[in-house]
A and B are shown apart, each in its own frame.
Chain A
């Protein structure tokens, strides 16, 4: 268990009768970028708060960097960017990084070296003396992000790191996440932007009603998971239902058939099945499934992202 950056088993949180997280079981390896996806109200924020010790679990176990939740020494090895920008905005950029460095217990010499380095990394070298309340939303997000890197953490929690960022800012976040992974840090990414998750994460977990529905290795996404789009006529109701043996979701609108299959080998089997069922195929195209299609297949359409 100590080899993983995060390992949880049936982590549960209830608020009175309301179940926020039903039973979270997941594992995040060291040096891995892990995406945490789910619709609003799925229990993502509560899960992150439990892992960070902000919220006490009602039941279950969790280990962070080999130590049980709430261990103070582990917090010295963890970085965290909270959702939205929630910091003391009356501080200047330099003072803000210095204050959080002090909270980490970093010696003065290291703080004085690390502060300017991180301001430069965030592209804010010329804004260190400006108060945070005078920063733009994107600048706040960037300084918040580098704050999470102050202590060269082994595990970084990023809650919506790209919200409020322009394309250049998003690229910066992507580069930082990659650099941190290359350094050996694990990154736990909570994001609504599936396209961002798709390009930065190694693995993703789909969560709904406070449970992990499925964990997926994104390196294999596209190799195994395929999307079939076909123009088909004379496809009966029974034959349509029969397609569900290969796919989690099958949609037929007019003569346009769309389905996501779990393995590439399913494609010829689907074609054989359609022909045998008497359907007439005018065109058929198979392409790699996007993360969005996977999300819809696994989580469904209820509840917005």
Chain B
């Protein structure tokens, strides 16, 4: 495990040194500021009569929180792919990896160490964004949404899944091809989620099946849809449909499938990297 720890440490240090962490934190802080301001303005603009009704205000806060978390989810997905696309592919391409893997460590130490390094940083980033959102909703909206840990857990799983898929692609492809491939898969999953939603609304089994098929090919978006369901639960429909509301809810089985998908992607990344010529 020495090699894993050394590589994880190097990965975190590189992100700090190359100002990746600073840039991501700046974007996150800017978003939290904007969200807080927006939340304040929206709640202020509610009709006085409606605003006095506690239930209505609570529902508004829940939906606004889900909307904010939807953006957090996208931000996390983009940061996950952008920051990690180069870590394997780039070091193979530049030859930097040669002086590393000729040392007495296993090749899987490199993959696992880098993955754990990114996983730790992304977990902290999600905690920062979600924690900031929660604090704002509580302070400005005066309400704490329910099922937040479940939703954050699902968003975390989505980020880890994207990270593992990026590693798998990076073990075979160039940096650019890695980014394009993983974004492409994530967009496919996103569109699949919409198709499934529309299928649910229009009672079209074919559309729903297509959506499920897209989620099987890439289960990242189905994790968000499950998270959105956890966050909103009984208020669905009160504020119309959108990506942060949910009709067709991915099952618990889909969450387990996503976990297995993550493990398989990481195992395949290790297998590919261990066998390829460098």
Contact = CB atoms under 8 A, between A and B. Distances in A.
Please say whether chains A and B are actual partners in one complex: yes
Contacts of B278: 49, 54-55
Dominant secondary structure of chain A at its interface with chain B: loop
Contact of B277 (A49, A73, A75, A84): A49
Given A72-B105, A90-B14, A90-B17, 5 more contacts: A54-B102, A73-B104, A75-B103, A86-B95, A104-B103
A87 interface: yes
B277 A100 contact: no
19 contacts: A49-B278, A54-B98, A55-B277, A55-B278, A56-B277, A72-B104, A73-B104, A80-B99, A82-B98, A84-B95, A86-B95, A86-B96, A86-B98, A88-B10, A90-B17, A99-B10, A103-B6, A104-B103, A105-B104
B104 A99 contact: no
A162 B276 CA distance: 30
A278 interface: no
Dominant secondary structure of chain B at its interface with chain A: helix
Nearest to A15: B277
Interface in B100-146: 100-106
A144 to B, nearest CB: 8
A46 B17 CA distance: 34
Contacts of B199: none
A257 interface: no
A190 interface: no
A52 interface: yes
B104 A88 contact: no
Contacts of B6: 99, 102-103
B52 interface: no
A147 interface: yes
B45 interface: no
Q: Could you say which interface size class chain B belongs to? A: 20 to 34
B103 A100 contact: yes
A72 B105 CA distance: 7
Given A55-B278, A90-B17, A103 B98 contact: no
Nearest to A76: B104
A78 B99 CA distance: 11
Contacts of B102: 52-54, 75, 78, 80
A103 B103 contact: yes
Contacts of A49: 98, 277-278
Interface string A101-116: 0111100000000000
A54 B277 contact: yes
A72 B106 contact: yes
Nearest to B2: A105
Contacts of A75: 102-104
Given A88-B10, A90-B17, A90-B18, A103 B95 contact: no
A86 B99 contact: yes
A86 B101 CA distance: 13
B246 to A, nearest CB: 43
Interface of B: 2-3, 6, 10, 14, 17-18, 94-96, 98-106, 275, 277-278
A302 to B, nearest CB: 27
A214 to B, nearest CB: 28
A28 B277 CA distance: 24
Interface in A95-153: 99-100, 102-105, 147
Contacts of A84: 95
- A-B pairs with the 5 shortest C-beta distances? A103-B103, A86-B95, A76-B104, A55-B277, A75-B104
B99 A147 contact: yes
A86 to B, nearest CB: 4
Contacts of B277: 49, 54-56
Contacts of A76: 103-104
A103 B3 CA distance: 6
A103 B96 contact: no
A59 to B, nearest CB: 15
A87 B91 CA distance: 9
Contacts of A54: 98, 101-102, 277-278
Most buried by B among A55, A99, A147: A99
Interface string A194-219: 00000000000000000000000000
A84 B100 CA distance: 15
A100 B104 CA distance: 10
Contacts of A53: 101-102
Nearest to A72: B104
Given A54-B277, A72-B106, A80-B99, A86 B18 contact: no
Contact of B105 (A55, A86, A103, A147): A103
A90 B11 CA distance: 12
Given A54-B277, A103-B104, A103-B105, A87 B18 contact: no
Nearest to B5: A102
A248 to B, nearest CB: 36
